[in-house]
Amino acid sequence: MPVLFVARSVKLGRWGSDVGQGKHVYKVGVADGDPKALAAAGWAGEGDWKIVKSREVEGLTEEEALARLARKERMLDPNLYPKLKGTPGVFRLRAEQVENHILVTRALAGDSDRLDLKLKPADFADYLIHNALR
């Protein structure tokens, strides 16, 4: 069964911050097996990729998932940035979008407690997976 995964590289996040894209840069993809083997091989010339979250999906291809996410989020063009070396599915996120998603989700669930949010990579991964499955 295909697995939708979200991966993060600290080095690529640092590069994104240096070129003005922000430090929240994540790779989204669909793999047939365990995505940890793909992460160990690395993408975009970096070898420090870690799988943040993954979810088994049925009937979803990588092209469909990336097209759904590209409607809502900004995918970095692999042809425009030589650092990406042709790697599709690298998205840049803003923390405000993820915070708004969490607040709206809590409000709709009836948990509208006003808490200060400290965003973690898992929150960004949940946001990307949620939007890829919509």
Helix, strand or coil, per DSSP, at residue 6: strand
| 26, amino acid identity | Y
On the question of pLDDT at 71 being above 80, the answer is yes
Place of tokens 């091989």: 41
Number of folded domains that form the chain: 1
* pLDDT tens for each residue of 77-111: 999 988 898 899 999 999 999 999 998 888 888 87
Expressed as residue numbers, the domain containing 9 is 3-132
Could you tell me the pTM of the whole model?
A: 0.91
Contacts 24+ apart (CB under 8 A), 89-92: 89/27, 89/28, 89/29, 89/62, 90/12, 90/25, 90/26, 90/27, 90/43, 90/44, 91/25, 91/26, 91/27, 91/28, 91/128, 92/16, 92/21, 92/22, 92/24, 92/25
pLDDT higher than threshold 90 for residue 114? no
